[in-house]
Amino acid sequence: MIQREITTLVPLLGKHGNILYPGWARKMFWVYNRDAVAGRPLALKEWDYYQLTVGRHVLQMVIGQVSYVAQFAATLIDTVSGEVREFAKMEPLPLRRLKMPTNPDRPSEILISRRDYEMAYDVTDKERHLTLDAHDGEVDIDLVLPRRGDDEMVIATPFDKPTQFYLNCKAVFFGVTGHIHFGDLRFELEPSGDHTAIMDWGRGVWPLHQEWFWGMGAAMIGQDRFGFNIGWGFGDLRLASENMFFFNGVAHKLGQLQVDRDVEDYLAPWRFSTEDGAFDLTMTPTYDYYTTVDVAVLRKSIHQVHGLFSGHVRLSDGREVQIRDVFAFCEHAVNTW
């Protein structure tokens, strides 16, 4: 598999809305121009998604739109008891009125201010500041994700139709501070903690029906920072996969994965490996967070399987790093959206 790495600034879309330079990068080198997006007005999808791990709990926060509906939400999941606490607001037909940032790395602000809540993402050169304040006092989230200048996973993926595309940036963060108050459940995240977070930043025009697998996680391995991102099942990936792991901020690119799992049992072990042995991790699932959505033309079915990942990765200098019981996830989604 020949993978094209993009290392300089290039335009994402041509005059007909097609991807000019499919491939992958360690930073956002594609210039995303929303005015160049072609295709159906209701086909554009844009989201900024964050997921934070705090022990057995997982916090998800999203600001995004799929053109016919916008979503502003936070979900706190107890992956042991299965208890889910959720704050979710949806607004119909935002079309392109919600001005999402066009670059995940540059300073930006998204502010959603309504009568009963306020949600904001404030991105600076040094940090990402995520807040949600429900005015009834039930939800109060204030988190700071420090930015270290680490490599990211960025991919520009075409689909069968020339006007369909997916621009995606995924990143890992370490040393998250702040607080999470969800009703009577409260977490105070101190600077001395090893809390980790991930970001999924997506912009694209997708086919109406789509299926994918996506896995991601981050953890401290002794004094070293480790993270990974894997994904497949969508688009034309001949020029790049999104498979990659990170070690102390440096990206190590992977090719195609061999995935061994029981398709009838999400809670059976999953093994992910590359032919060259640079990545070989097995997930022992502990919890399947299954969600469905059926609103108007929006239908989503997602199994986000959380578990403990163990195995090894091999750095570009040949050194093997042993991975033991890293709490992360892999999801299987089937969507009409």
Strand partners, 90: 71
Concatenated DSSP letters of 177-227 = EEEEEETTEEEEE-TTS--EEEEEEEEEE--SEEEEEEEEEEEEETTEEEE
One-letter amino acid at 307 equals G
Cβ count near 34 (within 10 Å): 13
**Which residue ranges make up each domain of the chain?**
10-96+103-336
CB contact burial 261-282 (16+ within 10 A = b; e otherwise): beeeebeeebebbbeeebbbbb
Q: pLDDT of the chain along its 337 residues, tens only?
A: 689 999 999 999 999 999 999 999 999 999 999 999 997 777 899 999 999 999 999 999 999 998 788 999 999 999 999 999 999 999 988 877 889 999 999 999 999 999 999 999 999 999 999 999 999 999 999 999 999 999 999 999 999 999 999 999 999 999 999 999 999 999 999 987 889 999 999 999 999 889 999 999 999 999 999 999 999 998 999 999 999 999 999 999 999 999 999 999 999 999 999 999 999 999 999 999 999 987 666 788 999 999 999 999 999 999 999 999 999 999 999 998 7
What lies within 8 Å, CB to CB, of 113 at 6+ separation is none
